[in-house]
Structures are given as C-alpha cells and as structure tokens.
Chain A
Amino acid sequence: MAICSPNRLSGTLKTWARTGNPWVWLTAGAVSLSLVMVFGILFLIASNGLRHFRAAAVAQITFAEGAGAPLLGEIVDRESVTAVRAREAGGRVPADATMVERFLIKRGNRDIGGEDFRWINAPDIQTLDYPADAYTVERLEWGNLYGRIKALHEGGTSVPLVELQPRLARVVALRADIDHLERVAIGGTNYALDALHRREKAQRKAGATPAALASLAAEEKALAARYAGFTAELEAKNVAISRDRLRLETIEGETREVPLAKVVRAYAPNQMSLRQQVAHYGASLWEFLSAQPREANTEGGVFPAIFGTVLMVVMMSILVTPLGVITAVYLHEYAKPGAVTSAIRIAVNNLAGVPSVVYGVFGFGFFVYLVGGSVDRAFFADALPSPTFGTPGLLWSSLTLSLLTVPVVIVATEEGLSRIPRAIREGSLALGATKAETLWRMVLPMATPAMITGLILAVARAAGEVAPLMLVGVVKLAPTLPLDGNFPFLHLDRKFMHLGFHIYDVGFQSPNVEAARPLVYSTALLLVLLIMSLNLAAIRLRNRLREKYHAAE
C-alpha cells in the first residue's frame, strides 16, 4: 500500500495539507452538520407528532417471581442504559449486567394505580404478548383505561357487546348536543342577561321612565324563560347520556364501571384491521384539530389554540399591512433623502432585532395598563373594578404583535419599491399623471408582491412568538372563544389560547409531562407546518418577483 512507509506518509500528508483540501472539507462538514440538524429536528418533530394519533398496541407483561404484578399498557419508549443508571432509577438489575434494556410502559388507569408511567427492566420480564381482547378506553377524565370488557349495561340489564360502538356513537352525538346547549344556547342567554343588567343599571342611573324599566323587565322575563327551557332540555339530555355503563376488568383483577358518558373511544387495538387502524388515525387526528382540550390541556384537541392563533394573526395582519405600507411609501417616496431619513431607516431596521419580550413589556405597560385602564375608566366605568380592557386580551396582543412586525413589513415593502425601475415612474409622470396617481396606479400594484412577502414574513414571525403574548393576552385555558354568536361577535377584550403558548404550558407547567409529551409534539408539528408553509410561500413570491423585474429592467 502506498501509505505504509512513514516517509511516503508524511509526504502525502504534506501535499494533502498544502492543497487546502482539509479546510475545504471542514467547511463542508459545517454545512453538513447544519443540514443534519435541520432535517433531524424536522424528522424528530414529525415522527413524534404523527405517532400520537395511531392506535397503540396494548402489551401484557408478566414478571419473573417477585418482580411485581402483571401489567397491561402501551410500550411508549425503549432504551438501553448502564446498570448504574438503571439501579439509580430504582429497578432490579442483575449483579453482573453492565447494560440494561428497559421499556417505558404507559399503564394508564390513573384513578386506580396512581402511577401512570413506569420503567421496566427487560431482565425482569417473563412474558410479553399482545392479547386480542385487551381494550383501550379513552375517557374524558383520568386518562386511558386498559382492561378487558366484561359487560355493557343499560340501567340494570345487560346489552350484547356488539352494541358498544353504536351506543358510543349515540353518546358522542348527545355530548355534542349538550356541548352546543351549554356553550351556545345557555351561554348566549347568559350573555344577553348580563348585557340587559348592565343596560338596566345604566338606565336607572340616568333616571329612566317606569315604562322603559317595565319593558326591560319584560325582556328579562322572556330571557329567563328561555334559560329555563334550555336547562330543562339540558337536564333531559344529561339523563339520556348517562343511560349506558361499561364494565371492565383491569389486569389487577379489579372491576371498574365506566359510564359511557365519560368515554371518548373504546377499541381493542391488538385486533384492529388495517382499515380500522386508518379510520382510528383519521378520527383521532380530527379530534386533535377540532376538539376542546381536556385534562388540563394534556388530552383532547387544540381547536381553541388554533382558532386563537389564527384570529390573532388575522387581526395583526389587518393592523400591520396598511401601517407598514404607508410608512414604507412615506420613507421611500415622500421623505427627503438625507441623514435623518437614513437614521430612521436604520432605526426601523434595528427595531426588527429588538427582543420580542421587550415589545411584550411595552404592550403590558402601555396598552394594557395605560391605554386599557383609561378606556375602562372612560367607557366601562360601571363594570369597574373588574377590568374590561384594562387586562391582557386579544386586542392588545394583536397591537403588540403588529408593532413587533411592522418593521418587517416596512423593510420588505421598501425593498419592493426600490426595485421598481425608474423608467416606469418617469413614464407615468411624463404622461401627465400626478405623483399620487403614479403611486396608486403604477408603483403600488407593482410592489404588491413585495408587500405580501413582508406580510407573510410578519405573519410567520407573529405566529411563532410566545414571549410577548405571555404578557399581553394569552391564557392556558380560555372558557370562551373570542369570536362567537353573541353581539358584538368579535370580543376584543377576551383572552385567548395560542399554539405556541400551549406548547410551553403543557410541556412545562403540566403536572403529568410524560403523558402530555405526545400531544406537545403534535402541536409543535402543527405550528411548524403552519410557519414553514408561510415562509415557503414568502420565498416563492420573492423569487417570482425577482424574475418579473429582471424582465422589466
């Protein structure tokens, strides 16, 4: 071989070093590492986020003598660790082992066993199989229940098990009805009653005529009657939904009765066909996208968070686009070029780099307390001391974020304006158009793609920001959406939920992080997809814009 002799080797090394190739390769290594990290992260989020929706197989594990009672649950994770660490974690480890394989089991049944997740060392396991009759029951409270179904009851009589899925479907439909009743019908009536009381208070203060007061009282009576009607209906539905009960036996041999009203889904994952698997996947994905969160946000869906994020971003866009475009047009077309204008330009550029939490602090102090407090004193004095606008809410969040993103729109629009060939402006002016007409008819339409690019970048930034929102309006759990059927429909003063904050809250503030983890990955995936697609759209637009003006020049 050529490299065997030491002399030849050092010679080769010298020539190799002299070409500079090692350095080139090192720089290439840096790019490769970046790429590995980018795609690694995306893969990590995607694989973990998508896994959450499948019907996980339920394993039954029996242990060697003295290592514990048998277990039924999902295998969530597996890893191999050093014996020292395994012992630290409290498991039994054979004395001669150096490495131990272990499984993380989700055993559910939180209301019975207490301990939701458990690490099990492989040497302890005697048998591991997937029994076909093991059922996963997803419940509204207390998480999953794993066990075997013994019976289905209606009142006192037993019902054949084939009835389970149809009856579950009935419960789901009833639950939707109840939800609608509570949220829309009763909630709406309550809202109307509140508004009526406020009006009555205001009228009494102003010295209303008895006739006016009487008409208010009549209105109130009608509302109260409606309210009573809804509650009666609700009660009937509540009775109907609690008709059926499911009896299960857990692996510990305990019998559990679960009212069907508390069951989200019940299935035997180990005997599902591929079609059933796909259907289950679709159903739980849909639940994730469309349902309300349950169990301190660790289960259920993220619909309010999606809704809040989108609504906040839409409001921000409505605010930020005109402001950013007007400022850019002013800076580029009207302001006298000079030291002041370029200083302003640098300042605007730099504001894009100011930490978002600083904007949050500003929004909290300025919008919420100063402006919001004044608005309350001026217009909502009768609601005080409970604040209406003097507390974090949707309006202040949108305003804060539009301030945060306005530099992005300004910079992008200005860039678009400066790309428009001079000839177009001059041609228009030469034909007798005024400056405003030139701008309105020629320049601005040509700069629209740049504005949209700026807007998309702004939206992408706003959708991912969490730190400022923690100060100006986001909450863990909002009881009502900021947009509903009650006048004035859009409630700017309400707090809202947000995907990014959801990730922070569920991942870091929830008591059962392990159980919430899959949901957080799914939420993260959703947010990444949203932002990536916005960014890719912006990049596409920018490229098309460039090509277009290359042709025009």
Chain B
Amino acid sequence: MTASPLSEITRALLAQRGWRVLKDRLFGWTMAVGGLAVISALLTLFLFLLWVIFPLFRSASLTPLKASAARAEPALHRSLNEYGDLEFVVTADGRYHFVDALTGAERDGGSLLAPGRGTLLPGLTGYRNHGVLALGLTDGRALLVTPTYRSTFVNNIPGVAASLSYPVGREPIQVLPVGTKLRALAAATTADSTTIAAVSDNDELTMAYLAPAGGLALDPDNAPLETTLMVLGRVAGPVTQVLVDPDQQELYTVTESGEVSFFDIRDKAAPRLVETTRVVPGGVTVTDVRWLAGGNSLLVGDSRGRVAQWFPARDQTNARHLTKVREFTALSAPISRIEPEYFRKGFVASDLTGQVALYHTTAERTLVVAATGLGELASLAISPRAAVLMATDAQGQTRRWAVSNRHPEVSWHSLWEKVWYEGRQQPEYIWQSSSASSDFEPKFSLTPLVFGTLKAAFYSLLFAIPIAVMGAIYTAYFMHATLRAFVKPSIEIMAALPTVILGFLAGLWLAPIIESHLLAVLSLTILLPLSVLLASLLWSLCPLRLRALLRPGHEVLLLVPLICVVLALAMGASQPLEELWFGGSLPHWLTQKFGFTYEQRNSLVVGIAMGFAVIPTIFSISEDAIFAVPGALTTGSLALGATPWQTLSRVVVLTASPGIFAAVMIGLGRAVGETMIVLMSTGNTPVMDFSIFQGFRALSANIAVEMPEAEVNSTHFRVLFLAAFVLFLTTFVFNSVAEVVRQRLRRRYGNL
C-alpha cells in the first residue's frame, strides 16, 4: 500500500482537471458566442430596415464621364438612347447621324431632306416629345422624325442598331400657308393620329391633324394619311414656343413676356381657346417651357432662374384653369434649357452661367446643383433611363455625367405633407403606389396609412379598455378564487386565437350581422351596462334569504345568462324596430339623413374584432398589477372603515395604475401592428375619414398587400420598408415605455 485511495482519486481528478477546465471554458464560450449571435441577429433586424430605407433620402449625384470623343460640332438637336451610349445629332445643314459616345465613331448618318427639297430652319430647335422630333423648314413645312434603337446580339456581343424612322412619311408636311415663315413648331404622335402645331412669324397659329384616311384602316402602318389643316387665327404674340401634349388634347402657345394661351383641342374639328394666362410677373421673361413626363404639366423657366410647374386644375365649377402648383428656385441666373425625364416626374434645368440642377416635382426636391464648366448651353439631353446627362454648348463642346438618382420621388414633404398631384384640385394626402399607365405619378403619402392604423387602434381600444380594465378589476379583487382560477386562463387563451380567424369572422360573419342589426349593436353599448345596473338594483332589493344563495364574488354566474338574454333580445328586436323607426334599414337611413357613407366592412367591425384580440393582453397584465397590490394596503383601508369599493377605487386601482397604463400601452402596440384583422375586415381603401362607418387602410395591411408585388429595390419597395420601420419604432416605443413603467412598479411594490 503505497498510496491511500483518497490520494489516488485526487490524482485522477487532477489528471482530469485540465480537460474539465477546458470543457468549462468551451461551454462558456459557446454560450457567449451563441447568445451574442442571437442578440445581434435581432439587432440586424433594426439595422437591415435602416439599410434598405437609407437610399430613399440620399440626394442625387453627378459623376463626370469621359467627354465624348466626337468632334465638337454645332447642332440643332441632340438626344441620347436608352443607356446613354449613343447620341442622335441633327445639324443645321439638314443632316443627321448617330455617334457612339465612347469612341466618337459616327454611325448610320444621312440627309433628312432630298437635295433641293428645302433647308432646315436654323433658328428653330426641334422639340422632342415622346420620341417624335419636329423639324421646321424655311418654307413653312415640317418634318417629323423618330430615332429608333434596337438591341442586337452579334457574335455574342450585345450592341445597339440605330436608325431613323419617319412617323408620317419622309415628305415634309406643309403646316403654314406657302410663303409664311415658321416661328414655332410642335408635334405629338400616337399609333393612330398625329397633331402638328405651328406658329408663323406674324403669330398665326395653325394645326395639322393627320389620321389614316377613312377612319380605321385594316393595315394602319401603310394606310394613306389624311391631313386636315386648320387655321386657328392670330394669338397673343410674339410667340416663342408652341406645345402639344402627347395625347393631343391640349395646345399651348407661349410668348416671351409669359402670356400662355391654352387651347382645348380634344375636338379636332373645333379647337377652342380656353384662356390666356400670364405665368410670370412683369419685367420677367419666360425663357423655356417644356412638358413634364406624361404631358400633364408645363415646366416654365424664367429669367429669374426659377422653374415653375403649371397645369390646368379644375375649379368648383369644373372649369379648367392653368394653375401654378409649385416653383423651384435653386438656380439664380436666367434659365436657358429645361429637359424633363422620360418616365419620372423629374427634370433638369440649366442657367446662363452653365449651372445645371436636377429636380423632382412631386417630392419638391432639388436633388443636385452642379457647374457644367460650359457657358450658355445649346442643348441638354438626358437618357430615357435617366442614367446619363449630356450638356452641349453652342460650339458643340460636350460634357457627360453619370446620374445616380434612384429615388427622387421621396421626401419628407411627399411622405407626410399634403401634395398637389397632377390633375388634382388641391393638395391632398394620397396613397396610390402603382397604376397601369407608365407616366403615372406615384403617390407615396404615408399619412393616410398612419391615419388608418391610428383609427383602428383608437376604435379597438375604445372597445377593449373598458371591458378589459373593468374585467381585470373584478377578477383580481372581487372574484372568488375558485372562479378566478377558471376565468383568468379562459380570457387569456383568447390571446392565442389566431388573428386570421378573428379577421375571417369579422369580415364574413360579423360585418353582415352588424349591417343588418346596426340598431342592436349601437344600442347595446347603453343597454348592456344599464341592464347590469338594473340587475344589481333588483338584486339589492331581493330578500336576504335569496341573496344569501349567491356568495360574493360569484355575480358573474348571474350576469352571464343575463347578458346572453339581453344580447338575444336586442338582436331579435333590432330588425322589427328598424322597420318601425328607420324605414327598414338603419344604415340606409343614416345615409339619407346625415349623409354618412356606410361601408359593410367598417371601423366598427374592426374595433370589435381587434378589441377582442387586444382584451386578453390588457386584461392579463392589468389583472396581474391589481392582484399584486400588497395586502397590507387593502386590509389597512378596510380596517379604517372604507367599503370594498372605496378601498378599490381609492387605494388599489391608484396603486396599480402604472401597471394598468403599461397594459394599455402594450395593448396599443398590439393594435397598431395587427395585420390580418385589419386586412380582412376593412375595405382597405386609403381614405382619411374618422367616421366609424367607413373603412381605412392600415400600414400593416398595406405592407402585406403590396410587398409581394413591389419590384425589389424600387422606390415603392423601399417606401414599404419605411412603413415597416415606422411600425417597428412605434411598437418598440410603446412597449419600452410599458416595460419601464412596469419595472418601476415592481420596485415600488418591493418597498411597500
């Protein structure tokens, strides 16, 4: 025996110790790494939302591109193709060509006019309008051309083939009486008609309307065109510009002093002057006027460096008047050119000092102001995808920029304030994220959605708070313990009821019932408490022998059947009484008498359904708070002679009030974020009306409906993320306040 068993064990333990310590450390590390990973994953939630939202609020930037290698040449017109890598140039000598912007190689050029068939008017710059470029000739004729681009794929190398097409034929069209000189020209063309407006140097306005002869031809591409020439007479002059909108419904002439004449040309046979408006104050001259994309608004640049948006808005009598909607003042020298984007409601303007600025009308944003390094610009071009901007001076020197301008539509103003959208009578809050038409103005006002969310929360809390808090008071303070052990879990289990089921019941079961029994539902808010009070009075008048049968804390046993009876009676009597008093249908009567619009899926339905979902939350937390009030307080109060009700109302509820407040906050958080109930039990129209009989569209429901359809990383997509972020922040704040209040309460109870 050399060693005792104990020391052997110790040795063995020591030998194991290193391994055990390592295991201990490893375990600790695993827990720390795992725990921190989960916590950071939850933090990622917050950061990721921010990361997606952030680009919305970045302003635009211009990055200079390598200057075009093409030789500098003066030109009448320059424009860019979709990706900004091909330039289309028309020179004063009646020639055109396409230039590769990178290499400067000239491609596919030619002469616009047959030799000896006229010369282009040098002073008159053609205006691009949805692809069609109108060129004036010295003899009062006009030529319409469209540069067309086609993607090619030769030997696996993508390229672009460019060519010129003539929408109304190669032969110039006589738009002015022979012998008069052209001063201004504009054209618009669609698949089946073309309108050309021209003003002569003595301010005579004429309009040429071209449509296939004999109405709809079988082969519209090759049908002979019939030209109708109309002389609209002399207009306020001297005219500098004329404009026709792409739908060929409006025509404007503009003078240098800012007289804009607005013609209604919907009826091509009888064009009509609507009004003449001055768009600038005296002493200021108009320098350039262009259409905003879509052709609903005019952009008017003036000698003060301002650009104003005007469109014909309807007044109360439904008459249209050209109205100034907003103005941009980022530039200070006279505006030289305005160039609208092709698809979005943004535009570029340049001034005489060679500065350019990018704007967006709906968002009222000036996105970037930059110096071109050139003097007065002869042309300004933006590629259809708004990715390349090109400026050229009179000598033909060119500068090009890559434009990074992903989300110009969004600003604080367009998200939260009233915005005057195109074609509207006044500034409004509108949410309308998408539409079938391509030149649609997206309306991203979150205000109606937040309003809907708050409206839903308001009505549901209006329903839930009284029931939940009063129920909590009774359950915690008066109810018999055995009954409480059953009642509390029963109400709490409501919280687990999937909201999709509540939404389904609200939309398909409750909404029709409320519509047909509106009288009952409205009167029950008074009838139910009244009947309970009456029951209490009658009970107190009952002989003591009878009252002794119901032990205190068991009133519920009496009231549940009573409430069922009252509900049944009210429902049964509702329709006959509506027939008697309200002509058979209360919603109908309300509409006729007070002008309420009654939607079947309205806020009342949501209030009840979502109130039902919120009750268990508020009930459970406030019940806990009341139940946890230390017994010493209540016994003290009772010992001093207070009745149980006095003790409750002056001691218990007061002590527990922070807990009840916390419960309401958590309930509010739940009501704000709830999705399925509001999605299924309202009409989901984003109206801003506080009426209980109308629906709304809530933030959460809006996300659920539109998110799957939003294009990834588009403005719409990011705005939906912003909506989610707003929801996240709101509920987080509510819950945090509630949590802090609860912790304080817990500490206070600890001291008592």
Interface residues of A (CB under 8 A from B): 2-3, 12-13, 16, 18-39, 41, 44-45, 80-85, 88, 98-99, 322-324, 326-331, 333-335, 344, 346-351, 353-362, 364-366, 369, 403, 406-407, 410, 432, 434-437, 439-440, 460-461, 463-467, 470-471, 500-501, 503-504, 507-508, 513, 517, 520, 524, 527-528, 531-532, 535-536, 539
Hey, which chain B residues are within 8 Å of A23, CB to CB? 645, 649
The residues in B between 19 and 41 inclusive whose CB is less than 8 angstroms from any CB of A are 20-21, 23-24, 26-28, 30-32, 34-36, 38-39, 41
Is A81 a contact of B555 with CB atoms below 8 Å?
A: no
Closest to A465 in B: B498
Hey, which chain B residues are within 8 Å of A366, CB to CB? 44, 48
A436 CA to B575 CA, complexed, in Å = 71
| Per-residue contact bits, chain B 522-537, to A (CB 8 Å; 1 contact, 0 not) | 0000001100110111
How large, as a class, is the contact surface on chain B?
35 or more
> Given A323-B38, A350-B736 in contact, is the A508-B507 Cβ separation under 8 Å?
yes
The one of B20, B562, B648 that contacts A437, using a Cβ cutoff of 8 Å: B20
The one of A32, A82, A347, A466 that contacts B576, using a Cβ cutoff of 8 Å: A82
A334 CA to B39 CA, complexed, in Å = 14
Closest to B467 in A: A30
In the assembled complex, the CB of B178 is this many whole angstroms from the nearest CB of chain A, namely 58
Hey, which chain B residues are within 8 Å of A356, CB to CB? 673, 675
Closest to B43 in A: A347
Is A34 a contact of B467 with CB atoms below 8 Å?
A: yes
In the assembled complex, the CB of A366 is this many whole angstroms from the nearest CB of chain B, namely 5
In the assembled complex, the CB of B301 is this many whole angstroms from the nearest CB of chain A, namely 40
Is A24 a contact of B32 with CB atoms below 8 Å?
A: no
The residues in B between 475 and 517 inclusive whose CB is less than 8 angstroms from any CB of A are 475, 478-479, 487, 489-491, 493-494, 496-501, 503-505, 507-509, 516
A29 CA to B470 CA, complexed, in Å = 9
Hey, which chain B residues are within 8 Å of A3, CB to CB? 541
Interface residues of B (CB under 8 A from A): 13, 20-21, 23-24, 26-28, 30-32, 34-36, 38-39, 41-42, 44-45, 48-49, 52, 466-471, 473-475, 478-479, 487, 489-491, 493-494, 496-501, 503-505, 507-509, 516, 528-529, 532-533, 535-537, 539-541, 555-556, 559-560, 562-564, 567, 575-576, 578-579, 583-585, 588, 612, 615, 619, 643-646, 648-649, 666, 669-670, 672-676, 679-680, 700, 703-704, 707-708, 712, 720-721, 724, 727-728, 731-732, 734-736, 739-740
A322 CA to B34 CA, complexed, in Å = 9
A3 CA to B534 CA, complexed, in Å = 14
The one of B21, B45, B466, B496 that contacts A434, using a Cβ cutoff of 8 Å: B21
Closest to B52 in A: A365
The one of A13, A333, A470, A539 that contacts B31, using a Cβ cutoff of 8 Å: A333
Is B507 a contact of A22 with CB atoms below 8 Å?
A: no
Is the contact region of chain A dominated by helix, strand, or loop, or is it mixed?
A: helix
The one of A32, A359, A503, A535 that contacts B559, using a Cβ cutoff of 8 Å: A32
A437 CA to B41 CA, complexed, in Å = 28
> Given A16-B540, A362-B45 in contact, is the A532-B644 Cβ separation under 8 Å?
no
Closest to B647 in A: A20
A505 CA to B60 CA, complexed, in Å = 42
Closest to B646 in A: A20
> Given A27-B471, A464-B498 in contact, is the A32-B669 Cβ separation under 8 Å?
no
Hey, which chain B residues are within 8 Å of A520, CB to CB? 504, 508
Is B536 a contact of A466 with CB atoms below 8 Å?
A: no
Of the A-B pairs whose beta carbons lie under 8 Å apart in the complex, a sample of 25, sorted by A's number, is A28-B559, A31-B559, A36-B563, A38-B494, A85-B516, A326-B34, A330-B36, A350-B735, A353-B732, A355-B727, A355-B728, A357-B704, A358-B45, A358-B49, A358-B731, A359-B45, A361-B707, A365-B721, A407-B42, A464-B499, A464-B500, A471-B707, A504-B680, A520-B508, A528-B501
> Given A26-B533, A34-B491 in contact, is the A344-B48 Cβ separation under 8 Å?
no
A553 CA to B727 CA, complexed, in Å = 43
In the assembled complex, the CB of B396 is this many whole angstroms from the nearest CB of chain A, namely 42
The one of A85, A99, A467 that contacts B704, using a Cβ cutoff of 8 Å: A467
A360 CA to B706 CA, complexed, in Å = 13
Is A353 a contact of B45 with CB atoms below 8 Å?
A: no
A327 CA to B41 CA, complexed, in Å = 11
Is A347 a contact of B45 with CB atoms below 8 Å?
A: no
The one of A22, A322, A365, A513 that contacts B533, using a Cβ cutoff of 8 Å: A22
Hey, which chain A residues are within 8 Å of B675, CB to CB? 355-357, 466-467
A466 CA to B498 CA, complexed, in Å = 9
Hey, which chain A residues are within 8 Å of B30, CB to CB? 326
In the assembled complex, the CB of A45 is this many whole angstroms from the nearest CB of chain B, namely 7
Is B578 a contact of A82 with CB atoms below 8 Å?
A: yes
